[in-house]
């Protein structure tokens, strides 16, 4: 399993590093687990990257699991209507 540990601030400055992490995880062709418990701030850019990952993993039939998504991460996704698309709808701040 490829594990991605999110930084506390997923802003535009963190987007490049996050993009590299997501690509690396995708290239493993293994299930992906995203640990979102440290996230305090999430910008649209990061959510767009997660959405792109979700689309690609769906096409490749790879599961993406969220581990402890923070309230800030869930709320950011909710505000953009992305909780279901990202698989955070059932997370509820716990694990999916």
| E strands in the chain | 2-5, 9-10, 32-35, 41-42, 64-67
Tell me whether residue 26 is in a domain. yes
Q: For the chain, how long is the longest CA-to-CA vector?
A: 31
40 domain-assigned? yes
Q: How many Cβ atoms from other residues are within 10 Å of residue 59's Cβ?
A: 8
Q: What range does the domain containing 68 cover?
A: 2-79
Question: What is the number of structural domains in the chain?
Answer: 1
The span from the CA of 96 to the CA of 84, in Å, is 12
Within-domain flag for 96: no
Say if residues 42 and 18 touch (Cβ distance below 8 Å): no
pLDDT in tens, 20-77: 999 999 999 999 999 999 999 999 999 999 999 999 999 999 999 999 999 999 999 9
59 found inside a domain? yes
pLDDT at 25: 96
Residue 67 lies in a domain: yes
């Amino acid at each position: 399993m490829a594990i991605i540990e999110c930084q506390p601030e997923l802003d535009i400055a963190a987007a490049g590093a996050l993009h590299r992490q997501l690509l690396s995880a995708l290239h493993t062709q293994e299930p992906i687990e995203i640990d979102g418990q440290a996230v305090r701030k999430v910008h649209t850019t990061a959510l767009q990257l997660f959405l792109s990952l979700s689309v690609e993993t769906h096409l490749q039939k790879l599961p993406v699991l969220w581990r402890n998504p923070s309230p800030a991460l869930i709320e950011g996704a909710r505000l953009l209507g992305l909780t279901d698309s990202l698989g955070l709808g059932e997370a509820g701040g716990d694990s999916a």
